[in-house]
Structure 1
Amino acid sequence: MEDQLNHAPFGFMTLSEDGLILSINKTLLDILNFSQEQLIEKHVNDIFTVPTKLFYQFYVIPLIKVNKKVEEMYITLKSFGNNEVPVIMNAKFRTSDNKSSIDFALIPIQKRSEYENELLTAKKDAESALHAKHKANAELKIALEHLKAKQEELIELNNQNHQYKVDTITKLEFARKIQETSLADSIQNEHIQIESYYRASSELSGDMYGFYRIDQDRYGIIILDVMGHGVSSALITMSLHSLFQRLISFGNSTEMVMQELDNHLHRLFHNNEDARHYCTAIYLLINTASQQIEFINAGHPPALLQKKDGQQLELNTTSLPLGIFESTKFKAKSFTYNKGDRILLYTDGVTDPLGFNHLKPLLLINKDLPNTRLKELIVHSLNNEQNLQHKSDDQCFLIVDVN
């Protein structure tokens, strides 16, 4: 690295496409209190905080691949002593000698607190000058000018912070639209009718569902709930969505679908226990020709099976949630259904306000209603004024009628 870049007034590093640190300048090493030997050829996650790891993997990398660069992004680094170092990041993708890499310029923004301290100092100086009998007017004028300059700097920093918040809200809204667009549409045919409901508690949701027609007779239906809320859970949910959509659509076995989702979570958080998330899920594979249903319930609230005559059964947990232990084995259970049976799958955001014992009579009393009308009744119950205090969780449910 050239000496001029090595001592530049900003951090600089180059990564491989796999995230390995190929070079890093002395400025950044000094900021993070690392030696070059500690970081060269190490993965960049070693200097990322947990939120930055997720943000980098699910947002920054895809953006670089599309635009070949990113500009003015706020992230936090982690020093040798595990202190957070906020920076503004610019990055650019480049190819040289048939090798691809990513250059990063990282500008620390820790000056705000220093500006505030300087502002307080300047104010005290001004007050002292006013009350000091022997201070000259010239000294007072200088102190006041210094105060004004610091106030202007603080105003500028506040404006930048406000713009960052506005940009973040815009990006979250865009991400929410992408998440909702990925949800499956209703299925209505002579063999099966599926209706769905989905409402996020904030901009982004940790709940997700999908249902797909695999072939003429088979349908795959899944609903899952990632631990937590907000951006991190939503990013994990979207990565699981792309995987289970492919696994189910290709007709993989019930056990393989759940095993691959479990493996994906373990790979995602390998060597990052602090960021680990688990996920509850239930997957149904319905064969309308043999009237057979296979299912696996990985720690999810039990689905309700209501027979045509009104008898109700629960599809209870058959295994631990996804992402808990790598040795977890998933084994499907199966049962035969009759035409006219109904299945309700849901996340705990539905049972928390309504209560599990509210869903059972609601289904039974309205067993002859079409699932579209039953969906309206459940949504109405969720929106009832007496349940408004419970709307802090994502809400999602599926109604499946088999004929």
Structure 2
Amino acid sequence: MDKQLNNAPCGFLTLSEEGSIVAVNRTLLNILNYEHEQVIGQHIDTILTVSAQLFYQLYFVPLLKLEHSIEEMYMSLNTRDGEEIPVLVNAVVRADHGATMTECVLIPMRKRNEYENELLMAKNAAQEALLAKQKANAELEIALGTLKAKQEELLETNKQNQQFKLNTKRELELARKIQENSLTESIVNDQIQIDAYYKASSELSGDLYGFYQIDATRYGIIILDVMGHGISSAMITMSLHPLFQRQITQGLSPVKVMKELDRHIHSLFQNDEEARHYCTAIYLEIDTARQKIDYVNAGHPPALWQGASGTQNPLYATAPPIGMFEDTVFHSSSLPYTEGGRLLLYTDGVMDPTASCYLFDLLKDHPDLPITDLKEKILTSLNHHKEAHHKSDDECFILVDVK
């Protein structure tokens, strides 16, 4: 970014087609109290208020796709310190070496004070004019009446905005509680022990998991991660939950479970390709009697099996993410075991698949640590890793001890 644009008297940023921040000028960074490396590569939701995130998904993105440009759209930014900054946004879509980019100009505004100052100045001007020129009382009354109406309109608009923010916050909190209550409880018996950790990066999460005892010796474990964050991703995960819960408890094979989840996501977006989402997922069926694990990994980060001897086997993807391609053929893989072992399943908010597998080393270094203590060590390591890389994503992992 050239020096003149970097220090322009207004904010400037460039977004990828997925909404990730590709470039940002120093002016906007100063307004938001962020450093360059803290926002580059992050989704624009990082700098938007909760209500603005919803507005961005429902109005900004569809209008931009339709018109390829936006003029003077009101949005609210969220500074690093939690301060809300109202801005006017002008945006335009352009092609850059085959990629679609959105360039945005953001102009800070604090209209409320400006309106009130304008009202006061206009009133004083009218009174001065009355004393100086003795203009007609009728005209002055009309002007004052108009000013009063504008002031009342401004106050009513502000009241409605505050109520909207309050209602939105309440609805999101209710949705978050519903989502968390859908998560399964830990399983502990003489065959297996299963425990999990889940934390959303915002009010709602695109991550979800479930584990169920199918019969006396079989257990089904699934973990999913829907593309993106926030309300749209959370709605998709919640629509998948009753479907996979029913299929797993009925004992359907991993291939059949994935086929049904894939069919469901395609049905959600069959008439709207632009809104299509995809979802990575891995489903395992553990049979303790046959001492075998059957699984399908649909584009998800590899789960890790660590045998009793300490040997580690990543369970790599066997198919593309669900919802990505029509008529996807899913294949299952099997992993036999003899003396039990330990499983780790996770989403990319816990361990980026492109990064070093630091959690794999943690499991290897503590093979005999009880699963509850291992969970605490993972959380400590995760917090340290997150601070070092400034990551902000949904966090979810499952630990399984097969006895």
Please confirm whether the aligned pair reaches a TM-score higher than 0.5, indicating the same fold: yes
Q: Is contact 2:282-2:296 (8 Å) kept?
A: yes
Deviation, 1:401, is: 1.0
State percent identity of aligned pairs: 56
Deviation, 1:390, is: 3.4
Which amino acid in structure 1 is aligned with residue 245 of structure 2? Q
Which amino acid in structure 2 is aligned with residue 367 of structure 1? P
Q: C-alpha separation between the residues in 2 aligned to 1:206 and 1:381?
A: 22
Give runs of aligned pairs for residues 49-198 of structure 1, distance below 5 A: 129=126, 136=135, 138=137, 139-198=139-198
Deviation, 1:339, is: 2.4
Deviation, 1:300, is: 0.3
Of 122-131 and 363-372, the range deviating more from structure 2: 122-131
Q: C-alpha separation between the residues in 1 aligned to 2:257 and 2:265?
A: 13
What corresponds to 2:32 in structure 1? none
Q: C-alpha separation between the residues in 2 aligned to 1:135 and 1:125?
A: 16
**Which secondary structure does the structure 1 equivalent of 2:244 belong to?**
helix
What corresponds to 2:324 in structure 1? 324
Q: Is contact 1:207-1:347 (8 Å) kept?
A: yes
Q: C-alpha separation between the residues in 2 aligned to 1:297 and 1:210?
A: 15
Q: C-alpha separation between the residues in 2 aligned to 1:157 and 1:366?
A: 59
Q: C-alpha separation between the residues in 1 aligned to 2:172 and 2:160?
A: 18
> Deviations along 1:311-330, whole A, 9 cap, x unmatched?
11110011100101112110
Q: C-alpha separation between the residues in 2 aligned to 1:337 and 1:131?
A: 92
Q: C-alpha separation between the residues in 1 aligned to 2:338 and 2:372?
A: 20
Q: Is contact 1:307-1:341 (8 Å) kept?
A: yes
Q: Is contact 2:386-2:392 (8 Å) kept?
A: no
Q: C-alpha separation between the residues in 1 aligned to 2:345 and 2:290?
A: 22
Q: Is contact 1:122-1:146 (8 Å) kept?
A: no
Which amino acid in structure 2 is aligned with residue 337 of structure 1? Y
What corresponds to 1:278 in structure 2? 278
**Which secondary structure does the structure 1 equivalent of 2:280 belong to?**
strand
Which amino acid in structure 2 is aligned with residue 184 of structure 1? T
Deviation, 1:156, is: 1.0
Which amino acid in structure 2 is aligned with residue 340 of structure 1? G
> Deviations along 1:67-117, whole A, 9 cap, x unmatched?
xxxxxxx9xx99xx889xxxxxxxxxxxxxxxxxxxxxxxxxxxxxxx999
Q: 1:315 to 1:386 in 2, by over 3 A?
A: closer
Q: C-alpha separation between the residues in 1 aligned to 2:255 and 2:354?
A: 32
What corresponds to 2:236 in structure 1? 236
1:382 aligns with 2:382: yes
**Which secondary structure does the structure 2 equivalent of 1:350 belong to?**
coil
Deviation, 1:338, is: 2.5
Q: C-alpha separation between the residues in 2 aligned to 1:186 and 1:365?
A: 24
Which amino acid in structure 2 is aligned with residue 136 of structure 1? K
Q: 1:123 to 1:190 in 2, by over 3 A?
A: same
Q: Is contact 1:353-1:382 (8 Å) kept?
A: no
Q: C-alpha separation between the residues in 2 aligned to 1:177 and 1:124?
A: 49
Q: Could you tell me the TM-score, scaled by structure 2's length?
A: 0.68
Q: C-alpha separation between the residues in 2 aligned to 1:301 and 1:385?
A: 17
Q: Is contact 1:354-1:381 (8 Å) kept?
A: no
Q: Is contact 1:352-1:390 (8 Å) kept?
A: no
1:293 aligns with 2:290: no
> Deviations along 1:229-268, whole A, 9 cap, x unmatched?
1111101000011110001011111111000000000000
Q: C-alpha separation between the residues in 2 aligned to 1:385 and 1:118?
A: 47
Which amino acid in structure 2 is aligned with residue 159 of structure 1? K
> Deviations along 1:310-363, whole A, 9 cap, x unmatched?
111110011100101112110101120122311100000001499442112101
Q: 1:117 to 1:384 in 2, by over 3 A?
A: closer
Q: C-alpha separation between the residues in 2 aligned to 1:393 and 1:181?
A: 20
Q: Is contact 1:280-1:322 (8 Å) kept?
A: yes
Q: C-alpha separation between the residues in 1 aligned to 2:193 and 2:315?
A: 19
Q: Is contact 1:212-1:249 (8 Å) kept?
A: yes
Q: 1:146 to 1:122 in 2, by over 3 A?
A: farther
**Which secondary structure does the structure 2 equivalent of 1:281 belong to?**
strand
Q: C-alpha separation between the residues in 2 aligned to 1:292 and 1:143?
A: 83
Of 389-398 and 206-215, the range deviating more from structure 2: 389-398
Q: Is contact 2:206-2:226 (8 Å) kept?
A: yes
Q: 1:269 to 1:135 in 2, by over 3 A?
A: farther
**Which secondary structure does the structure 1 equivalent of 2:331 belong to?**
coil
Q: Is contact 2:262-2:323 (8 Å) kept?
A: yes
Q: C-alpha separation between the residues in 2 aligned to 1:227 and 1:272?
A: 16
**Which secondary structure does the structure 2 equivalent of 1:349 belong to?**
coil
Which amino acid in structure 2 is aligned with residue 241 of structure 1? H
What corresponds to 1:402 in structure 2? 402
Q: Is contact 1:224-1:347 (8 Å) kept?
A: yes
Which amino acid in structure 1 is aligned with residue 269 of structure 2? F
Deviation, 1:172, is: 0.8
Which amino acid in structure 2 is aligned with residue 149 of structure 1? A
Q: C-alpha separation between the residues in 2 aligned to 1:198 and 1:354?
A: 21
Q: Is contact 2:186-2:196 (8 Å) kept?
A: yes
1:247 aligns with 2:274: no
Q: C-alpha separation between the residues in 2 aligned to 1:163 and 1:361?
A: 50
Q: C-alpha separation between the residues in 2 aligned to 1:119 and 1:314?
A: 63
Of 380-389 and 151-160, the range deviating more from structure 2: 380-389
Q: C-alpha separation between the residues in 2 aligned to 1:262 and 1:386?
A: 32
Q: C-alpha separation between the residues in 1 aligned to 2:401 and 2:161?
A: 51
Q: 1:123 to 1:387 in 2, by over 3 A?
A: same
Q: C-alpha separation between the residues in 2 aligned to 1:393 and 1:184?
A: 21
Q: C-alpha separation between the residues in 2 aligned to 1:355 and 1:338?
A: 31
Deviation, 1:379, is: 0.9
Of 281-290 and 348-357, the range deviating more from structure 2: 348-357
> Deviations along 1:157-194, whole A, 9 cap, x unmatched?
21111111101111111111111111011111111111
Q: Could you tell me the TM-score, scaled by structure 1's length?
A: 0.68
Q: C-alpha separation between the residues in 2 aligned to 1:354 and 1:327?
A: 28
Q: Name stretches of at least 5 consecutive residues in structure 1 with no aligned partner.
A: 1-50, 56-73, 84-114
